[in-house]
Structure 1
Amino acid sequence: MLKKKNRAITNQVEFVSISDLVPKDHLLRAVEESIDFDFIYDEVKDLYSENIGRPSIDPVVLIKLLMLQALYGIRSMRQTIKEVEVNVAYRWFLGYGLQEQIPHFSTFGKNYERRFKESDLFEKIFVHILMEAIKYGFIKSDAVFIDATHVKASANKNKYVKKMAQHRAHKYKRELLIEINADREANGKKPFEDSNDNNKDGDSPKKDSVKEIKESTTDPESGMFHKGEKERCFAYTASVACDRNNFILGVKVAPGNIHDSQVFSDLFQEVSEKFPEIEAVVVDAGYKTPGVCREIIEAGKLPVMPYKRPMTKDGYFKKRDYVYDEYYDCYLCPNNQVLRYSTTNRAGYREYKSDPKICSKCPMRMQCTLSKSCTKVVTRHVWEHYMEIAEDIRHTPWGKELYKMRGETIERVFADAKEKHGMRYTNLRGLRKVGHYLTLLFACINLKKLALWKKKQGMLPPAVPVFSLVLSKIRKIFTFNQTPLLSLSA
């Protein structure tokens, strides 16, 4: 039989608490019970004036508003406020009643500029949530997985100016120069000066000391990002480290035109200080450089890296076809000819050159080199032995199994962050502001996992409707000698 719903019930006045309207299994209930948000008051008390004046918005409410945006992937604070106005669970999470006025969407922005922008509040929130996960034994940090992903900036890719900028120096630049000069002196070469100016060996000015970049006129602190077949755009790069259980251990944000390996050092050092028990560092091929391998091994960790395809053109011999003789410090080509040491360049590569008289008559020359001087040059980095250690680890069953876990750990973190938490792009502008938001976003991902794990293991108190408690107390008051004097259920 056809039935028609009577909508008049929507105007009915009911006696109910807002807590009873939130389902017992709602995510925000687990989040609220999993951590005490009062710690935020201690972190922000120095940012507020002690003078008597107009009462401010509760700082916990401001942070929870941002958490709601991150947890549910809402695109902006304006939209978040609209969602809070009609969502009972959101109101309950913030501590607002059904009739209470929600703060204006510009409130957080003003408080951020006046109070939170120059503080480390968001990093402290991230650390506090991480410490809670450590406290309950959810962190498994014997292996750490590090990778980076890009976040599209709020900037038009066609609005930019071209500028000349210096390359960002690697952290280990000084150590590398020392080893380069030691190697050159050992081979009777003059050491390089610690300068980006013209060297004294007759070389031309360093063309790689500066480069032309495209700087956005909308968000100058973002960087032009382009990788493979992906669309060229202005973006930021988020470098993240996580453990086996997908808990994020550290986050670093940089402009999109900075290579992942350049941000690695800061992130690796931060995570290593927090978790000295780390045994292995798992990264992808983009981090397979002599400097990164050296830093991991010198820190007492094991680098787990994949096979990196050679950049040699098809039809030519690969570098692996040239055998290095460690005793005589030379290379042997596929035709069993010797390539002897020539020099060590400023990039840290030792150059081994062939005899042009022999190469000019070699039947394999067209597969080896097209040099007009008939000279083949093979390079070997002064830190190449660190790369060889990483290559040995790659072939072990333990290394292979650990690298396979990247798809279940760091790749899963990025997938969830982009699909469920709106990290594909940002409406914010400026490196500091974007960094603060992404730090809080990953803190919320940790908080969500912490809440669900504690709930699954029965570490959270059971959710009892407030109105049910009140009703039971009223019944006890109006009950005497087990004889009900008043029935509230009638």
Structure 2
Amino acid sequence: MMLGRKERDQLELYMCGSLRDLLPDDHILVRVDRVLDLSWLREAVSECYSPGSGRPGIDPEVAVRLMLAGFLLGIVHDRRLLREAQVHLAIRWFIGFGLHEVLPDHSSLTRIRQRWGAERFRQIFKRTVTACVAAGIAKGEVVHVDASLIRADVSWESLAVRHVDAVRAENGDGTEVARVAGETLKTSRKSGRYKKVCLTDPDASMATNGRNRRLEPAYKQHGVVDDVSGVILDVEITTGEVNEGQEILNRLDAVADTTGATIKVATADAGYAYAKVFGGLERRGITAVIPTKAEPIRSKVPLRRFRYDARHDHVKYPRGQILQPNRTKIQYGRFFASKAVDCAGCDLAAICLSPSRVTKAVVIVHDYPALLRARRRRERWGEDDKRLYQRHRWRSEGFHGEAKTWHGLARAVRRGLANMRIQAYLTAAAINLKRLAPI
């Protein structure tokens, strides 16, 4: 065999053929192109433009295809995406641009996001969900719910300590009042959550996903994943300080509205094990596969010794006394208080009551009976429940890991809640298109 030689000078002035001929059939953009339908998009965004005036803008389908190509290939920054598209044959073919055509400027994508708003990008994501349901790779009957923090696109130098302009020392409990943009917040000296604010991205809030980890400026993504093939049925972005239990019911309602199916089973981790969550799931007819939290013991006479009687709506004291509900209303439950004469004759009063009190008061949260039923059900979990919860671990957590590792969701690309929502919607849409595209 002779030693070969290839001349590097490319003298061709004209080339015949399509860019598609140069791409392998199993390339991700080729696979997605077979299932991607954006024929509805032009009419959906037409109200954002002025007909008959101004210069022609970028074709809406080209803009969305360009953004989706970036998320599918893990190129989430506009500047880098457009630089890569200049030499990337697959991206040029995917957006319908030839080798000789000049690509849009990266700033055009920014203006399109601002003009369309986050809700139109959510519609793009929802279209991928309905396509997956129609294809039979998602049913919306068994779902997995989880949340994950996304680091905000800010530096540590942009964080500032909130100015404390009032100290409520009369109670002697170290409570501080911080004012930020006219909002009054009660904070504790021991907590750093409300002590810092981000100057460059006020929507980001200080949060952490572990007690031993420091607080970071972050957003929180709430996701619902289908059990069949891991299709993302719903995703939403909130500030990092929003609790998971506040969003799960809204997200499940959104899933039912998008898929048109009735959710039968929902799984989640112990971070969702609240009475209001179990009560809300019961009212919706959804079976909850959620491990309940161990009841904290903060007193020598723990709360579990006080038995709530839902039929008669009172609480039984360990020695048989009855605690009746009082008229004090709080957001998350009701107070049940004893009589001073009952506590005076109780042999547990010395260890049950605080030194400054003569009566016992306990708080029973709303939907407390639902929490008790969930605890009893947790003790009777069968093999099917255990296997389903194991699937929750790699379905929901696997989605967050995939989005962060392969599609750039480990950190916000742009600042502001609206931009963060757009990033999350397009990331979820890209993952759903991967699930839908045949190999």
Is TM-score (shorter-chain normalized) higher than 0.5? yes
In structure 1, what is the Cα distance between the partners aligned to 2:325 and 2:122? 50
> CA, structure 1 residues 374+99, in 2 after alignment: closer, same or farther (shift >3 Å)?
same
For residue 126 of structure 1, what is the aligned residue in structure 2?
125
Range with greater deviation from structure 2 (26-35 or 101-110)? 101-110
In structure 1, what is the Cα distance between the partners aligned to 2:254 and 2:336? 35
Give the superposition deviation at 1:321.
5.1
Map 1:45-60; keep pairs closer than 5 Å.
45-51=46-52, 54-60=55-61
For residue 180 of structure 1, what is the aligned residue in structure 2?
none
For residue 316 of structure 2, what is the aligned residue in structure 1?
331
For residue 349 of structure 1, what is the aligned residue in structure 2?
334
Amino acid at match of 2:371: M
For residue 208 of structure 2, what is the aligned residue in structure 1?
226
Q: 1:411 aligns with which of 397, 414, 420?
A: 397
Amino acid at match of 2:233: L
Partner SS state of residue 29, structure 1: helix
Give the superposition deviation at 1:423.
0.6
Q: 2:265 aligns with which of 275, 280, 305?
A: 280
Partner SS state of residue 376, structure 2: helix
Instruction: Check the 8 A contact 1:239/1:253 in 2, yes or no.
Output: yes
Give the superposition deviation at 1:246.
1.3
- Are positions 1:428 and 2:427 aligned together? no
In structure 1, what is the Cα distance between the partners aligned to 2:5 and 2:297? 74
In structure 2, what is the Cα distance between the partners aligned to 1:100 and 1:440? 26
- Are positions 1:211 and 2:204 aligned together? no
In structure 2, what is the Cα distance between the partners aligned to 1:410 and 1:383? 27
In structure 2, what is the Cα distance between the partners aligned to 1:42 and 1:342? 57
In structure 1, what is the Cα distance between the partners aligned to 2:400 and 2:143? 15
Cα shift readout 1:298-353 (whole Å, capped 9, x = no counterpart): 1222222103123335x9565445555667744354xx565634646524134355
Give the superposition deviation at 1:239.
0.9
Amino acid at match of 1:81: L
For residue 243 of structure 1, what is the aligned residue in structure 2?
226
Give the superposition deviation at 1:446.
0.7
For residue 38 of structure 2, what is the aligned residue in structure 1?
37
Instruction: Check the 8 A contact 1:350/1:382 in 2, yes or no.
Output: no
For residue 192 of structure 1, what is the aligned residue in structure 2?
none
In structure 2, what is the Cα distance between the partners aligned to 1:109 and 1:264? 31
Determine what percentage of the aligned residue pairs are the same residue.
26
In structure 1, what is the Cα distance between the partners aligned to 2:55 and 2:3? 52
Give the superposition deviation at 1:240.
1.1
Give the superposition deviation at 1:237.
1.0
> CA, structure 1 residues 260+325, in 2 after alignment: closer, same or farther (shift >3 Å)?
closer
In structure 2, what is the Cα distance between the partners aligned to 1:141 and 1:163? 47
| Matched residues, number | 402
Amino acid at match of 1:223: S
In structure 1, what is the Cα distance between the partners aligned to 2:272 and 2:74? 30
Supply the RMSD in Å over aligned alpha carbons.
3.2
In structure 2, what is the Cα distance between the partners aligned to 1:401 and 1:71? 31
Give the superposition deviation at 1:11.
2.9
In structure 2, what is the Cα distance between the partners aligned to 1:261 and 1:438? 20
Cα shift readout 1:432-454 (whole Å, capped 9, x = no counterpart): 12112211211111111111xxx
> CA, structure 1 residues 361+58, in 2 after alignment: closer, same or farther (shift >3 Å)?
closer
For residue 433 of structure 2, what is the aligned residue in structure 1?
447
For residue 187 of structure 1, what is the aligned residue in structure 2?
none
Amino acid at match of 1:211: K
In structure 1, what is the Cα distance between the partners aligned to 2:249 and 2:307? 32
> CA, structure 1 residues 41+382, in 2 after alignment: closer, same or farther (shift >3 Å)?
closer
In structure 2, what is the Cα distance between the partners aligned to 1:92 and 1:351? 68
List gaps (5 residues or longer) in structure 2.
Answer: 165-176, 178-183, 188-193
Partner SS state of residue 371, structure 2: helix
For residue 149 of structure 1, what is the aligned residue in structure 2?
148
Alignment TM-score, normalising by the size of structure 1? 0.73
Instruction: Check the 8 A contact 1:41/1:60 in 2, yes or no.
Output: yes
Map 1:136-175; keep pairs closer than 5 Å.
136-158=135-157, 159-160=159-160, 162=162
- Are positions 1:78 and 2:79 aligned together? yes
Cα shift readout 1:258-286 (whole Å, capped 9, x = no counterpart): 21222334323222333441112222222
Give the superposition deviation at 1:78.
0.6
In structure 1, what is the Cα distance between the partners aligned to 2:82 and 2:46? 25
List gaps (5 residues or longer) in structure 1.
Answer: 165-206, 457-490
For residue 358 of structure 1, what is the aligned residue in structure 2?
346
- Are positions 1:105 and 2:87 aligned together? no
Partner SS state of residue 64, structure 2: helix
Give the superposition deviation at 1:408.
2.5
Amino acid at match of 1:215: V
Give the superposition deviation at 1:385.
0.8
- Are positions 1:381 and 2:365 aligned together? yes
> CA, structure 1 residues 87+10, in 2 after alignment: closer, same or farther (shift >3 Å)?
farther
Q: 1:293 aligns with which of 248, 272, 278?
A: 278
> CA, structure 1 residues 359+68, in 2 after alignment: closer, same or farther (shift >3 Å)?
farther
For residue 246 of structure 2, what is the aligned residue in structure 1?
262
Give the superposition deviation at 1:127.
1.6
Amino acid at match of 2:149: H
In structure 1, what is the Cα distance between the partners aligned to 2:333 and 2:286? 23
Partner SS state of residue 154, structure 1: coil
In structure 1, what is the Cα distance between the partners aligned to 2:252 and 2:357? 44
